[in-house]
């Protein structure tokens, strides 16, 4: 039985905001691709109904931890469906910074749902898991399905696609940016015309959140300006991480090798199949 599960990061290769619903949720068009870098979650099923997180995540109170919320949600759903209710001891090896735009919390929740569904033998299909995930966060379903996709609506309407699997130099400005701060900013552009998928993929990629973030978080602008000297570079999600794209690993590592000492980050490969789903298909941890 697999006990250690990957929770990969994602990049938003483009991000546009096309409107805002009455309930405050923003309508998006964004291209999401996975990368071969992320958190790792270890889960050991138990014969009691307790769900324990064995290590705390700094800066995240337990009641807001998406891993615990996902585990309790699945447990409650299975109990109501008449399935045996088990417990689990869970630990998280956290690599993805909070407020980075890399989707760490959402990916952790998605991996937890998929892993516990397998380990508890709940036998829920992937659509049901995605529906459960959506109640926790709009970008959790894309991690559950595990395919690079254009996400629309509030992020839940997914169209699988196959963008080029580039190499990326991802840098990590030393700042956390809450999505709510950006989405509530009065100057955020919320009226980008909605385009067809063909039009989106043919146009230059852009992140509509970028102007707000570089104006309010100078350290992000500092990273972005340095990267732009060497390669096409953008913000991911609502930040804070930025990424530069390269055709080869060698090119990405060459630029990383000359990065200033104040710049921290990593080189990674874009993947259209999530590392979690690659593991499931291969049957190997």
Residues 201-204: contacts with CB under 8 Å, at least 24 apart: 201/31, 201/161, 201/163
Task: Residue 203: give its domain's CATH number.
Answer: 3.30.230.10
* 82 labeled part of a ligand binding site: no
Which run of H or of E encompasses 76? helix 66-80
Helix (H, G, I), strand (E, B) or coil at 77: helix
Among 10, 39, 108, 166, the active-site one is 10
* 107 labeled part of a ligand binding site: yes
* 104 labeled part of a ligand binding site: yes
* 98 labeled part of a ligand binding site: yes
Domain that holds residue 192: 1-285
* 158 labeled part of a ligand binding site: no
Q: How many domains does the chain contain in total? A: 1
Our answer to whether residue 10 is catalytic in this structure is: yes
DSSP at 63: G
Digitized pLDDT (tens) for each residue of the chain, 285 residues in all: 668 999 999 999 999 999 999 998 999 999 999 999 999 999 999 988 899 999 988 777 777 899 999 999 999 999 888 888 889 999 999 999 999 999 999 999 999 999 999 999 999 999 999 999 999 999 999 999 999 999 999 999 999 999 999 999 999 999 999 999 999 999 999 999 999 999 999 999 999 999 999 999 999 999 999 999 999 999 999 999 999 999 999 999 999 999 999 999 999 999 999 999 999 988 754
Our answer to whether residue 139 is catalytic in this structure is: yes
What is this structure's pTM? 0.95
Among 39, 94, 108, 139, the active-site one is 139
């Amino acid at each position: 039985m697999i006990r250690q599960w990957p929770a990969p990061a994602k990049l938003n290769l483009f991000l546009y905001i096309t409107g805002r619903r009455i309930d405050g949720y923003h309508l998006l068009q964004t291209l999401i691709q996975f990368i071969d870098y992320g958190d790792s979650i270890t889960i050991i099923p138990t014969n009691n109904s307790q769900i324990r997180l064995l290590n705390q995540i700094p800066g995240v109170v337990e009641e807001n931890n998406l891993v615990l919320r996902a585990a309790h949600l699945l447990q409650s759903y299975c109990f109501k469906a008449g399935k045996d209710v088990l417990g689990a001891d869970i630990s998280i090896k956290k690599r993805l910074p909070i407020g980075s735009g890399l989707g760490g919390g959402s990916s952790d929740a998605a991996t937890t749902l998929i892993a516990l569904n397998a380990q508890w033998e709940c036998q829920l299909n992937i659509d049901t898991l995605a529906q459960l995930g959506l109640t926790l966060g709009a970008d959790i379903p894309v991690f559950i399905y595990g395919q690079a996709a254009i996400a629309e609506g509030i992020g839940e309407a997914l169209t699988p696609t196959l963008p080029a699997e580039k190499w990326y130099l991802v840098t990590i400005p030393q700042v956390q940016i809450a999505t709510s701060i950006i989405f509530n900013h009065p100057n955020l552009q919320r009226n980008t015309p909605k385009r067809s998928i063909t039009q989106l993929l043919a146009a230059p990629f852009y992140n509509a959140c970028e102007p707000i973030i570089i104006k309010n978080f100078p350290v992000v602008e500092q990273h972005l300006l340095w990267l732009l000297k060497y390669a096409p570079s953008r913000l991911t999600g609502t930040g804070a991480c930025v990424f530069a794209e390269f055709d080869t690993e060698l090119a990405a590592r060459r630029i990383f090798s000359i990065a200033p000492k104040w710049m921290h980050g990593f080189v990674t490969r874009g993947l259209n199949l999530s590392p979690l789903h690659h593991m499931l298909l291969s049957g190997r941890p």
